Amino acid sequence: MLVPIKVPSLLGLLPPSLQHAHTPLMHDLAQAIFESYPSLTIEDPSPPAHDGNHPFVPVLHTIPDTDETNIFFRNYQPLSVIIPWMRLLRSLFPTHVRMINVGVSYEGRDIPALRVGVHPSKAETPSSPRKTIIITGGSHAREWISTSTVNYIAYSFITAYGKSREITRLLEEFDWVFIPTLNPDGYVYTWETDRLWRKNRQQTSLRFCRGVDLDHAYSFQWDHDSSAANNPCSESFAGEGPFQGVEARRFSNWARNETVNNNVTIVAFVDLHSYSQQILYPYSYTCSKAPPSLENLEELAIGLAKAIRTTKGEKYTVTAACEGIVELKDQQDKKFWPRIESGGGSALDWFYHELNVKYSYQIKLRDTGGYGFLLPSKNIVPTGLEAFNAIKYMGHFLLGNKGIEGAEESRDASAALGAEMQGDDDENNEEANIELRRRRRRVMLM
C-alpha cells in the first residue's frame, strides 16, 4: 500500500512510456480493509414507532431467502465465533455430525474440523474402508472467503440431511471432513493485527520475520532451491526443510493416520483459496510432468466449473496448478517463464502423490482481482452456494452419476437450464482449450 503522495515518485522510476499505463485496482485500501470486518451496527427489524399524527398503515414484510437471513453468513466471523458455532452444530445434529481436531497449531490452538456422515449399517466397524472427502480452507490466513465457504458448505450439508434425498445419500456414502482454517494462528492474527497476513505465526531463523507458508511446506517436491526458501521474510517462505510448517506437518500426520489406522480411504481432497476463480489440479511443482490420471482430473474439474457457472453465472477456468502461476514462454524451445512463486511442497500434490488421492484440487474462489483478498461480505453467500453446488457435483461424480442425480432435483436443474444453455459455448471453448493444452503437454514430454 502506498500513500498517494508516494505514487508520483514510484511512477518516476518507470520508463516514460509506462508512467501513464496503469490503473488503480483499489482506490482506498484502508477503507476496503475496514469494510471486510463485521459491521458494528445492527439493523433493527422492528417497525418505526407510530407518532399518532398519521393513520396507521399495516405493512406485510416478506421473509427473504433463508441463506440471506442466516446471521452467521452475513459477515466474516472470527475464530472465537466459528468454534462455538461448530460446537452448536455438533449438539444440534448429533446423528451425523462430530467435531474433531486434526492437529494443534504452533501457538497451541486446536485445528478444529466437522466430520459429517452417517453409516446406514448398524455394524460398529465398517467392513470396508470408509470413503472420505476432505474440504479445507484458510491455509493462507488472509483468505477469509475460503474459511467462510468451508463453513457454508458444511452447514448446507448438515442441515439438508433427512430433507434432501440427494444430500442424505451423499452423507450415507461418504464421510465429509470440513476444516475451516488450517492456520488458526494466522487467522486470529488477521483479525487482531494485520488483515493481509498470509503465513502461520511460528518463529523462524530471523526473529523479526515470523511465519511459514503452509501451502509450500509439504514434503512432496519441497523446493529448497527457490529464492523464497532462503528468505524467512518472504510471504512464500516454505521453511528450512520439508514439513517445518507445524500445522502442515500435523495435518498430514492426521491424514496419514486416518488411512493407515482408522479404516479410511480419502477419495477426494479440495483445498479452497482465493482469489482468481480457478480450478487447479496436480501437478503444482512442475509443468513438465503430467499426473497419471490427468484425463479424469480434467473431466471432473470441467464439471465443477460448470456447476459453479450454472449457479450464479461466474466463470472459473480449469488448468493444471503449475500453469496457474506460470506461462509457456516459447512452444518452440519448450521453456517456461520464471515462476511467480514456488509450486513445490503443495498440499495439492502431497495428497495426490503421497496419499494416492485420485481427485485432488485447489479451488481459487472469487474474485478476479477487483477486491482480491478483501472480498466484501456480501459475496459470502453466493460464493458459498457456488462451491456447495460444485462439491455436490463431485459427490455425484464419485458415485458414478457424472454429476446427474434423479428427478428430485429436476426443479433446480430447470431453473439452471437457461444459464447452462447460455454457457454452452464457454464450456465447449474450455474443453477445447484443455484438449489443446493436453496435446502440447504430450509433445513436450516426448
For residue range 301-333, list pLDDT tens digits in order.
Answer: 999 999 999 999 999 999 999 987 544 445 455
Model confidence at 68: pLDDT above 60: no
Name the nearest CA neighbour of 111 among 153, 147, 144.
Answer: 147
Q: Nearest 5 degrees, angle CA 212-CA 218-CA 220? A: 145
Model confidence at 263: pLDDT above 80: yes
Query: Helix 380-398 to helix 294-312 angle, to the nearest 10 degrees?
Result: 140
Q: What is the pLDDT of residues 78-129, one digit of tens each?
A: 999 999 999 999 999 999 999 999 999 999 999 999 999 997 665 555 568 9
Q: What is the pLDDT of residues 138-153, one digit of tens each?
A: 999 999 999 999 999 9
Model confidence at 429: pLDDT above 70: no
CA distance 382 to 314: 10
To the nearest whole number, what is the mean pLDDT of the chain? Answer: 84
Sign of CA dihedral 274, 275, 279, 284: negative
Considering only 66-75, 80-89, 222-231, 350-359, which range has the smallest mean pLDDT? 222-231
pLDDT for 340 = 53
> 70 falls in which pLDDT band (50, 70, 90)?
confident
Segment 426-445 mean pLDDT: 62
Q: Count other Cβ atoms within 10 Å, centred on residue 27.
A: 8
| Residue 209 · residue 178 · CB < 8 Å | no
**Letter for the amino acid at 386?**
E
pLDDT for 334 = 47
Q: Which residues contact 345 (CB under 8 A, 6 or more apart)?
A: 215, 216, 217, 218, 219, 220, 221, 222, 223, 238, 242, 285
Its pTM stands at 0.84
Model confidence at 44: pLDDT above 50: no
Taking CA atoms, 81 is separated from 49, 72, 76, 177, 312, in Å, by: 33, 9, 10, 19, 28
Pick the residue with more confidence: 163 or 334?
Answer: 163
